Amino acid sequence: MHYSHIINELAEDRERYFNAVSPPIVQTSNFVFNDFASLRAAFDDEMSTYLYSRGVNPTVDILRQKLAALDEAEDCLVLNSGASAIFCAVMSNVQAGDHIVSVHKPYTWAWKLFDNILPRYNVATTYVDGTMIENFEAALQPNTKVIYLESPNTLTFDLQDLEAVAQLAKSRGIVTVIDNSYCSPLFQKPHRFGIDLCLQSATKYIGGHSDTVAGVLTGSKAMIKQIFDREALNTGAFVSPFNGWLLLRGLRTLPVRLRHISESTQKVVAFLKNHPAIERVYFPLDPDFPQYELAKKQMTGACGLLTIALNVTRYEQIEQFAKNLKHFLLAVSWGGHESLIMPKCAGLRPDQFDPTDREHRLVRLYIGLEEVEYLMEDLGRALDKL
Ligand SMILES: *Cc1c(COP(=O)(O)O)cnc(C)c1O
């Protein structure tokens, strides 16, 4: 199915809503039944009927069908954050006494789930450097139930070999979960490699305008149904009709936004690679990237995130660099229209800064929708001042 069909035509049933081009926001909490029998049927299977908008909602359903198709998955849930997608995907597949193998340094709210919540229910996690398949194999235990991936991650863009991990997991009956936020469904289709559950923060590229927080989770009908009936209904984790509608609107322009952003980002990478104030540029589709070949195999594009290691010795220099940038906002998140800067050392106190630790000198940049010359001029000016 072509993505143009999915984004523009699939699941648009306009005769049901006055032939309106843009679907309505069905802003209702509950739905009416004509008789006891149909109400009882809804209680029995809430996922296949409109009963109450904590479950399924017609506006959100349009989005679910499109996002499932984009991921080439049987089914999809749209949740009220990427963090809740992580929570639901993992919780649905573990019970007391189980073990998880996760890539090291996963997204903050993944490791907080593994380190702060799951140990209270006797579920332990082992972290591995996911760049080598042997590390997964060595970490598996008889009670390992989930392998948690994030490929690429959003700081140093480390990848995992998805096909190899999926094969290993399948041979041991282990469920694989991937955070695919960086690539979005346009640039990587993890289910093609055999990954079971694929999630992304829709706050980033699906929304695309820095005005909505949401998450997407896709997988087989059976796995998604289990999550719907248990974790998602119980935590009330579904996206609201209004935010679902905003995501539908964002989705319409996903391909053009990503094309512009990825072209700009490659130009910025080429520009920064030769700058004397920069020790190293991290970008997965740069031929010098250590896992470039794997990136080319698994991903059809790279997005607007890149990281630079600055040649500096003092914390204040990085602080000043961020201040000198006029068009990059100091803010978390990414995927919107606006360019952003997130220095790693912003999470440290000045006295904790160690210039011999390269990680402290990492600065993540997000390239937004501005014209690339406008951004490069700004970057050049701030780097020259270093
Ligand atoms: C932002 C982000 C999340 C979490 O998504 P929210 O929508 O903010 O809850 C998860 N993983 C990655 C890689 C992210 O960048």
pLDDT band for position 210 (50/70/90)? very high
Judgement on whether residues 306 and 219 belong to the same structural domain of the protein: no
Which pLDDT score, from 0 to 100, does residue 112 have?
Answer: 98
170, 298 Cβ separation under 8 angstroms: no
- Say if residue 275 is in the same domain as residue 151: no
**End-of-domain residue from the set 252, 269, 300:** 252
Single residue among 252, 279, 294 that ends a domain in this structure: 252
**Same domain membership, residue 78 and residue 173:** yes
pLDDT average, residue stretch 220-236: 98
At 347 the pLDDT is 95
Amino acid at 117: I
- 262 and 248 share a domain? no
Candidates 77, 105, 109: which one to mutate for ligand 1, based on the most atoms within 8 Å of Cβ?
109
Are 140 and 185 part of one and the same domain?
yes
User: Could you tell me if 209 and 313 lie in one domain?
Assistant: no
State if residue 179 touches ligand 1 by the CB under 6 angstroms criterion: yes
Q: How far apart are CA 226 and CA 232, in angstroms?
A: 9
Instruction: Tell me, letter by letter, the H, E, C secondary structure of 245-265.
Output: HHHHHHHHCHHHHHHHHHHHH
323 Cβ contact list (under 8 Å, min separation 6): none
59 ligand 1 Cβ < 6 A: no
pLDDT single digits (tens) 167-197 = 999 999 999 999 999 999 999 999 999 999 9
User: What radius of gyration do the chain's Cα atoms show?
Assistant: 22
pLDDT at 252: 98
Q: Select from 208, 232, 252 the last residue of a domain.
A: 252
CA distances from 315 to 107, 110, 310, 348 (A): 24, 28, 11, 9
Separation of 33 CA from ligand 1 center, angstroms? 38
Per-chain mean pLDDT for the chain: 97
- pLDDT per position as a tens digit, 261-318: 999 999 999 999 999 999 999 999 999 999 999 999 999 999 999 999 999 999 999 9
Domain shared by 61 and 197, yes or no: yes
CATH code for the domain of 209: 3.40.640.10
| Domain range for 167 | 3-252
55 pocket-lining for ligand 1 (C-beta < 6 Å): no
> Is any atom of ligand 1 closer than 6 Å to the C-beta of 285?
no
Distance in angstroms (rounded) separating the CA atoms of residues 31 and 12 = 21
Asked if 175 contacts 385 with a C-beta cutoff of 8 angstroms, the reply is: no
**What's the CATH number where 360 sits?**
3.90.1150.10
**Based on the domain organization, do 176 and 53 belong to the same domain?**
yes
CB neighbourhood size of 178 (10 A): 27
Take atom 2 of ligand 1 and give the residue whose Cα is closest: 201
Confidence of residue 57 (pLDDT cuts 50, 70, 90): very high
DSSP class of 211: -
* Residue to mutate, 102, 179, 212, 332, ligand 1, most ligand atoms under 8 Å from C-beta: 179
Going by C-alpha positions, the residue among 240, 286, 242 that lies closest to residue 262 is 286
Ligand 1 centroid from CA 154, angstroms: 10
pLDDT at 226: 98
Q: For 75-80, what is the mean pLDDT?
A: 98
Q: How many domains does the chain have?
A: 2
Same domain, 242 and 297: no
215 lines ligand 1 (CB under 6 A): yes
Per-residue pLDDT band at 13 (split at 50, 70, 90): very high
Q: Is 336 in the pocket of ligand 1 (CB under 6 A)?
A: no
pLDDT for the residue 260: 98
Q: Is 333 exposed, middle or buried (0-12, 13-18, 19+ CB in 10 A)?
A: middle
Residues forming a β-bridge with 77 = 217
pLDDT band at 202 (very low <50, low <70, confident <90, very high): very high
Res 176: pLDDT: 99
pLDDT of residue 357: 97
Residue 243 Cα distances to 66, 129, 239, 317, angstroms: 15, 36, 6, 40
Q: Cβ–Cβ contacts within 10 Å for residue 5, how many?
A: 11
Using 50, 70 and 90 to split pLDDT, how confident is the model at 117? very high
Q: Are residues 343 and 358 in the same domain?
A: yes
Q: 221 and 264: one domain?
A: no
CA dist 354 and 53 (Å) reads 50
For position 145, what pLDDT does the model report? 98
Average pLDDT on 74-79 reads: 98
Residues 199 and 51 in one domain: yes
Beta strand 99-103 with 278-282 is: unpaired
Nearest CA to ligand 1 atom 7: 82
